[in-house]
Amino acid sequence: MTETSYPNWDAVYRDNVTWVYRLMYAKVGNRPDAEDLTAELFMTALRPMRVSATVPEVRTYLRRTARTVLASYWRHRMGREVTTIDEDVPEAPEREVDAAAPGRVRGLLDALPDNYRRILELRFLQAMSIRDAAGQMGISVANAKVLQHRALRLAAQNDAEGTP
């Protein structure tokens, strides 16, 4: 990569994928959706973008495309658009590792009914999309969404009450 432009599409991707993913994760708050949105952004942006564009032009174009991709995501997901993107891309947060967390999560999952436990394992432990999880369970996407919502609510309630 030169100071003014990228040598090829692979260089565009490699130089920008980390900040794009962090931006998407900061906006949606979960890894599967952030990964999907990052892939969607690059698929959308790379077709019309000129490889001869300067590095600042590429980053500006990716930021504008991110705004469009996020607006579409939130419009379909929640019925509202989120189209503002801060200029600062968030850094990866420093996290403390809780050694008891895996056991606590397993206890919370084990306390759930089978179908609730299964949807959460597929969605969050195996990082499946809601559509793939529904297919795996042999249920509709709408049913999978309801199961996930109820399972998360019950798990949170059990956690708040100290139930394993």
CATH number of 101-161: 1.10.10.10
Rounded Cα gap, residues 125 and 116, in angstroms: 13
Rounded Cα gap, residues 158 and 123, in angstroms: 19
Residue 86, classed as helix, strand or coil, is: coil
Every domain range in the chain assigned CATH 1.10.10.10: 101-161
> Under a CB-based contact definition with an 8 Å cutoff, are residues 27 and 63 in contact?
no
> Under a CB-based contact definition with an 8 Å cutoff, are residues 149 and 141 in contact?
no
pLDDT values of the chain reduced to their tens digit, one per residue, 164 residues: 446 888 888 888 899 999 999 999 888 888 888 899 999 999 988 877 777 888 888 899 999 999 988 888 887 776 655 555 555 555 555 556 677 778 888 888 999 999 999 998 998 888 888 899 999 999 998 999 999 899 988 888 888 887 65
- Determine phi and psi for 46, rounding to 5 degrees: -70, -25
